Amino acid sequence: MELPKISTGRVRAANPYDEETDVDSDEEWPSTANMPLPHLPNFFNGKCFHLHEELSADVRSKLTRYITAFSG
């Protein structure tokens, strides 16, 4: 004999990890090609930098970009 199920009145919350997260939309993002670049401060104006030769190419490239961006 099977016992009847008793309802407690509580609603079980959905697991957020089971929810669909992909955005299925044909709507495209607006183009940013004609937007002006933000003004960057000139922290390094008039400064001279020496990058050590043992730095990896990736780190050297990033540092060069940062120094150039901030007027170095």
pLDDT over 90 at 21, yes or no? no
Is residue 71 predicted with pLDDT exceeding 80? Answer: yes
**pLDDT score for 48:** 92
Mean pLDDT across the stretch 24-45? 83
Q: How many domains does the chain have?
A: 1
Which DSSP string do the residues of 26-65 spell out, in sequence order?
A: -PPPPP-TTSPPPP---TTTT------TTS-HHHHHHHHH
Residue 57: inside a domain: yes
* pLDDT higher than 80, residue 2: no
Q: Which residues form the domain of 47? A: 41-72
> Is 22 a domain residue?
no
Does a structural domain hold residue 61? yes
| Domain annotation covers residue 17 | no
For residues 12-24, average pLDDT: 72
- What is the mean pLDDT of the segment spanning 55-70? 94
| 25: in domain | no
55 part of a folded domain:
yes
